[in-house]
Amino acid sequence: MKKTSIQTAICILLLFPVSLTEIHGQLPLIQNYINREPRTLNGKWHYIVDPYEIGYYDYRYTPYDQNPKPQDRAYFMNAKPKDKSDRVEYDFDKSPTLLVPRDWNSQQEKLFYYEGTIWYKHSFDHVSKQPGNRLFLYIGATNYRADVYLNGKKLGYHKGGFTPFNFEITGLVKEKDNFLIVKVDNKRKAEEVPTLNTDWWNYGGITRDVALIETPGIFIIDYFLQLRKSSGDNISGYIVLNGENCQGKTVELSIPELKIKNKYITDKNGRTQVDLKIQNLRLWSPQDPYRYSIIITAGDDQVADQIGFRTIETKGTDILLNGNPVFLRGISIHEENAIRGGRAYSREDAQMLLNWAHDLGCNFVRLAHYPHNENIIRLADEMGIMVWEENPVYWTIQWNNPETFITASNQLKEVISRDKNRAAVIIWSMANETPVSPERLTFLKNLSDTARSMDNTRLISAALEQHSIQGHEMKRTIDDPFAGYVDIISFNEYVGWYDGLPGKCSKIQWEINYDKPVIISELGADALGGMHGDSLTRWSEEYQEYFYRENLSMVSKIPQLRGTTPWILVDFRSPRRTLPDIQDGWNRKGLISETGNKKKAFYTLREFYKEIRTKYGQD
Ligand code: GCB
């Protein structure tokens, strides 16, 4: 059979999963950069707004960085006039500053709606801790495409607004006056992931931390330590070194509390398998989010981490956490601090969001619709809140475009790579509300194969759509071949909001013919905080409350129901939502308003979760 171009591209990708990122000039991701004494480059960076990209293209529209001798006109050269007659038409040092990390839209009123290129510049000095050490630049996230230049030399580029990337910069850094220039472009494009159309704000900028990481010549670039699937006592995984001649090196894994100090020898790829049998492990759970201190040592390099161990699996229609059935009392969250305005990025932002989720009675959060920052994942790990992470394959992307697949699978690989040691993460979600077609099935199937090949310890899902059974408007089902490939059937439904009035819920019957657990990944209705009316007045808190009562009672009748993540914790900005005096650019489906006030439905859901706790005997 003749292979389509996408099938061929996918085969290549599955065969060479790591080499992909090298196309962009990057290394595989450095695991746990936070615990490597990173030197932060956060702070004020000078910026130039460049809607025509004149700092990138010459007047024939050829990128300057494709020229071996780029002209001074290229912004990444950070040129200064050489004498009084010299003409240089930009000056970073006289340009204003933006904070990094943070989106640009919420920092400057004139950038609120801006979609396009902004150039960032940051200068730094650097004295190496020790001769022979290596140096890396780590960038937590930039939305959407970043082209990165150091001292006038291109390091590479990265696409995808929500995942980290790093470049080796050993030998490129001077002791004084280095200039790092990042061109960030958040233009939406049909072939990208996500694509042109979303229901959230397209915040641009360097939205997460930027840091330098110094390591010895050979260092621990990656490790994966979790319980083997279905085993409560078998820690398994791998440790990988990077550097010249990594074969035959000794790696020590120590877990002091368990009196473990094991030595391993690396293979020709600098890699070693880990396989430990341990009796009476204290397992991570929402009731006891216990994490063990672990220390990995290889030659002069050492990295410490805190890792929780737990199992997550399905059995028939049950989700089992450490072998016990669990109901996922969840809520969906966007990565936004509505009160301050802008993308959430800090530990404080994460604290605000997760404290609200905790107050709601949640043991689970769906971090929609893209990978959120590492602070919230680490805090969830500490607080004992289970996490659904999501790839930004949203609505209608170009299923037939091999480049689009590469972009989607890169983002998935990057988030799995970053968070694979966090016990809190229990579900990798492939996509949200994507229309059924053969091309889309191939695409999603290949994404889920990628996820499983990197990490078989977690569950795979996707937020699917529900349908009426033909000729029976009130009978609803999941009619989607991808449901056959996931571990959990999750779907979004808006009966009572986009689909009739809340009273319709009592008439709906669900026929879900899979022997798998079900999560309602979205249900929700808009309410303007503080607006009151009767339960049929659109936009009122009473309508939203009524909607929740009717919906929760309806979905409770689905026999396989094992979790809910209603839409959504807090009102969030969306350019699709224009109704004056009600929406004003906000999606109002939050249970909490953009000013932090809890709406009536917050308490309805909290009551429901209280009942679930009693029913499941959960704390
Ligand atoms: C959905 C989408 C979500 C939207 C939501 C809404 O189905 O998954 O991104 O924001 O509906 O409010 O319409």
List, for residues 327-377, the tens digit of each pLDDT value: 999 999 999 999 999 999 999 999 999 999 999 999 999 999 999 999 999
Q: What is the pLDDT of residues 231-254, one digit of tens each?
A: 989 999 999 999 999 999 999 999
CB atoms within 10 A of CB 138: 21
pLDDT given at position 26 = 58
Of the residues 464, 587, 591, which should be mutated to test ligand 1's pocket, given the most ligand atoms within 8 Å of the CB? 587
Q: Above 50 in pLDDT, residue 9?
A: no
pLDDT tier, 617 (very low <50, low <70, confident <90, very high otherwise): confident
How many whole angstroms from 13 Cα to the centroid of ligand 1? 31
Q: Measured from the CB, is residue 117 less than 6 Å from ligand 1? A: no
Overall average pLDDT of the 105-119 stretch: 98
| Residue 369 alpha carbon, nearest atom of ligand 1 | 9
Q: Measured from the CB, is residue 433 less than 6 Å from ligand 1? A: yes
| Vertex 613: Cα angle to 609 and 616 (nearest 5) | 130
How many whole angstroms from 382 Cα to the centroid of ligand 1? 29
* Location of structure tokens 């995984």: 237
How many whole angstroms from 199 Cα to the centroid of ligand 1? 6
Residue 549 DSSP one-character state: H
Q: Measured from the CB, is residue 432 less than 6 Å from ligand 1? A: yes
How many whole angstroms from 371 Cα to the centroid of ligand 1? 17
| Residue 572 alpha carbon, nearest atom of ligand 1 | 10
Q: Measured from the CB, is residue 587 less than 6 Å from ligand 1? A: yes
Cα-based distances in Å from 66 to 58, 61, 117, 181 = 11, 11, 18, 16
Nearest to 118 by CA among 187, 25, 40, 60: 187
Q: What is the pLDDT of residues 427-444, one digit of tens each?
A: 999 999 999 999 999 999
Q: Measured from the CB, is residue 122 less than 6 Å from ligand 1? A: no
Q: Measured from the CB, is residue 399 less than 6 Å from ligand 1? A: no
How many whole angstroms from 566 Cα to the centroid of ligand 1? 11
- Ligand 1 atom 9: the closest Cα is on which residue? 199
Residues paired with residue 314 on neighbouring β-strands, in sequence order: 319
pLDDT given at position 298 = 98
Q: Measured from the CB, is residue 492 less than 6 Å from ligand 1? A: yes
Overall average pLDDT of the 217-226 stretch: 98
Q: Measured from the CB, is residue 526 less than 6 Å from ligand 1? A: no
Question: Do residues 393 and 365 touch, judged by C-beta distance below 8 A?
Answer: no
pLDDT given at position 68 = 86
Nearest to 215 by CA among 95, 133, 155, 99: 133
pLDDT given at position 19 = 30
How many whole angstroms from 359 Cα to the centroid of ligand 1? 23
| Residue 498 alpha carbon, nearest atom of ligand 1 | 13
| Residue 587 alpha carbon, nearest atom of ligand 1 | 12
pLDDT tier, 124 (very low <50, low <70, confident <90, very high otherwise): very high
Q: Measured from the CB, is residue 565 less than 6 Å from ligand 1? A: no
Question: Do residues 375 and 345 touch, judged by C-beta distance below 8 A?
Answer: yes
Question: Do residues 413 and 222 touch, judged by C-beta distance below 8 A?
Answer: no
Sign of CA dihedral 537, 541, 542, 546: positive
What strand order describes the sheet that includes 318-321? 312-315, 318-321, 324-325
Side-chain-facing half-sphere of 375: CA atoms under 13 Å: 19
Phi, psi at 434, each rounded to 5°: -100, 140
Q: Measured from the CB, is residue 199 less than 6 Å from ligand 1? A: yes
How many whole angstroms from 432 Cα to the centroid of ligand 1? 9
- As a whole number, the mean pLDDT across the chain is 95
| Residue 497 alpha carbon, nearest atom of ligand 1 | 13
* Location of structure tokens 């910026």: 47
Q: Measured from the CB, is residue 390 less than 6 Å from ligand 1? A: no
| Residue 395 alpha carbon, nearest atom of ligand 1 | 8
**In the chain, what's the furthest Cα-to-Cα distance?**
80
Overall average pLDDT of the 153-168 stretch: 97
Q: What is the pLDDT of residues 570-612, one digit of tens each?
A: 999 999 999 999 999 999 999 999 999 999 999 999 999 999 9
CA terminus-to-terminus distance, the chain:
55
* Long-range contact set of residues 71-77: C-beta below 8 Å, sequence gap at least 24: 75/48, 75/50, 75/119, 75/181, 75/183, 76/119, 76/147, 76/149, 76/152, 76/154, 76/181, 76/183, 77/152
- The model's pTM is 0.95
pLDDT given at position 102 = 98
The CA-based dihedral angle spanning residues 449, 451, 453, 458, taken in that order and rounded to the nearest 10 degrees: -120
How many whole angstroms from 526 Cα to the centroid of ligand 1? 11
pLDDT given at position 619 = 65
Q: What is the pLDDT of residues 443-502, one digit of tens each?
A: 999 999 999 999 999 999 999 999 999 999 999 999 999 999 999 999 999 999 999 999
345 SS3 class: coil
d(CA 508, CA 475): 6
Nearest to 41 by CA among 178, 168, 171, 163: 178
What totals of helices (H) and strands (E) does the chain contain, helices first?
A: 8, 35
Q: Measured from the CB, is residue 567 less than 6 Å from ligand 1? A: yes
Question: Do residues 312 and 229 touch, judged by C-beta distance below 8 A?
Answer: no
Overall average pLDDT of the 179-203 stretch: 98
